[in-house]
Structure 1
């Protein structure tokens, strides 16, 4: 069973049974596929219900409108992205923690960027919704890049010998996420698969910025 969307998702009713959770998953899968096919403006709850093979009432059981549905998809994307990054960090098998001179964050940065780029290229609907920042979903007080930055701080703080609630660390990640967000979207506007030269420039820029904040002082 796929994970339920992030806790900030405005579900009208959370699924409590496996069958209900599976139906919610089908609805979100259909929403993602249709976003790729017709875009957000042409997306409709009726079309999603038809694609998911569920009654229209099932869609409205969870969502009041397509905006709420797209926000739920963004929340699910964030959960899946978090799991992918966590798996990559686990696969590094201590490389982040044991790198000489506190240099392990560079391997972590590669994992964070690589997994985002992979989802950008392969995850249905991700090019329009990703974590919610390209269409008007969510609220002013729940900005997607803040959520991503906080999630990354929670994932990486231990590897960096910092506390997840460290305001300076969270601010550093927020600046990095905002920068990466802008440049990744530029790369994918230039090339549907992501312009390699722009992505490499972004990687260099982030390494330089994060190095000032994360490398140990002499």
Structure 2
């Protein structure tokens, strides 16, 4: 989780009007984010309203606006929470050890993304925010570029890879390719077509093997 927390603190333009200090307020904000995730699954982003959000979370509409200026900000906060969860899950997998090569780490990155697509409310409808704004995670970088930066840092720390422009370029292509193929997998089957997911792993391994210098 520490990696995700660092990622969040590096970004400007935080979606919250104010950070909840009291435990009760923090819990209320989390209920709002949970409600947002459920409503995005049910209605999509366009169907989400702050009124529905307040009703689902069991809070007054004023409580929503106390912390968020609009529904976009709520979705941005949910997306940042999903990113922290994703990076935390990958960091945990890396921390467990057992990887003999960097491509085992790449497989873990894909596996955790697929798991969140299957089981994390709101994630399939939002991914990392592109459905709302390609700059939802960072005002200066597109959303996948943020993912590339965070994955690069994890892979470099774990496998002592050479951090350079060559690696950044390769990971950018790999992330864009993997994102497209996993979306295809979930269009073909509700839980993700396992054949497409396996092909995504193979393709990305083969591609990165020509770029990554360890």
Tell me if TM exceeds 0.5: yes
Q: TM-score, normalised by structure 1?
A: 0.87
Deviations 1:14-57 (A, max 9, x none): 12222221111110000001111111111111111111111111
Asked if the contact 2:91–2:154 (Cα under 8 Å) also holds between the matched residues in 1, the reply is yes
Task: Kindly report the root-mean-square deviation, in angstroms, between the aligned alpha carbons of the 2 structures.
Answer: 2.0
- Give 1:177's aligned residue: 175
2:151 paired with 1:146: no
Structure 2 counterparts to residues 53-202 of structure 1, below 5 A: 53-91=58-96, 93=97, 95-96=98-99, 99=100, 104-136=101-133, 138=136, 141-162=140-161, 166-202=164-200
List 4+ stretches of structure 1 deviating above 4 A. none
SS in 1 for 2:51: helix
Task: Give ranges in structure 1 of 5+ residues lacking alignment.
Answer: none
Q: 5, 8, 12: which one pairs with 1:6?
A: 8
- Give 2:38's aligned residue: 33
Task: Give ranges in structure 2 of 5+ residues lacking alignment.
Answer: none
Distance 1:171 1:19 in 2: 44
Asked if the contact 2:161–2:212 (Cα under 8 Å) also holds between the matched residues in 1, the reply is no
Distance 2:184 2:128 in 1: 17
Deviations 1:190-216 (A, max 9, x none): 112111121111111100111111255
Work out which structure has the larger RCO, using CA pairs closer than 8 Å and 6 or more positions apart in sequence: 2
- Give 1:16's aligned residue: 21
User: In the TM superposition, what is the alpha-carbon distance from 1:134 to its structure 2 partner?
Assistant: 2.5
SS in 2 for 1:36: helix
Asked if the contact 1:6–1:72 (Cα under 8 Å) also holds between the matched residues in 2, the reply is no
Distance 2:162 2:85 in 1: 23
Distance 1:205 1:162 in 2: 20
Cα distance change, pair 192–135 in 1 and its aligned pair in 2 (3 A): farther
Asked if the contact 2:161–2:213 (Cα under 8 Å) also holds between the matched residues in 1, the reply is no
- Give 2:207's aligned residue: 209
User: In the TM superposition, what is the alpha-carbon distance from 1:168 to its structure 2 partner?
Assistant: 2.5
Count of aligned positions: 205
